[in-house]
Amino acid sequence: MIETVRVGMAEYKVAKSPSVLVSLGLGSCVGVALYESTKKIGGLAHIMLPDSSLSSKKDFNPGKFADTAIDMMIKDMVKNGVDPRKLIGKIAGGAQMFQIKSDSNIMQIGRRNVEAVRSKLALLNIKIISEDVEGNFGRTIEFDCETGELTIKTIGHGIKKI
């Protein structure tokens, strides 16, 4: 029986086949799916912000930031027997949900999240094999640990599998 594992905002989870990891309502947030096909183990992070360096240490949540969530998720995947050199990545989200009348990069959280995720995965030598990012619409994603397929559901844009 397929188990559905919910991944909330600022969380990451790791699961084995036949589980499906699901994250609802990605706006400017980015969903990062990592997968190791021989063991059929996947991880999904729902990243809110690009960089933890500006965070207050008091309520620090590593699942919230691109630079820390990916590291923690990989650590959990390795504990489950994954070889990090075999990981591949898929990403979705990073939308600009509201019209902004400024060229300031600080307000473009979606784009900054996508850039931070790409940079972190490149630093770790994890290839992004497919993505569905930016735009101005939200997404719900489902990552199938059996097949490694990422399903992206959007209102007005239908369903896409990558």
Q: What angle do CA 112, 160, 74 make, to 5 degrees?
A: 50
Active-site residue identified among 29, 41, 73, 95: 29
Element (H, E) at 2: none
CATH of domain 4-161: 3.30.1330.200
Q: Is 145 a catalytic residue?
A: no
Residue range 138-151, pLDDT digits in tens: 999 999 999 999 99
* Whole-number pLDDT of residue 102: 55
pTM: 0.92
Residue range 1-54, pLDDT digits in tens: 889 999 999 999 999 999 999 999 999 999 999 999 999 999 999 999 998 887
C-alpha distances in Å from residue 89, one per residue of 13, 16, 85, 130, 153: 15, 16, 12, 7, 18
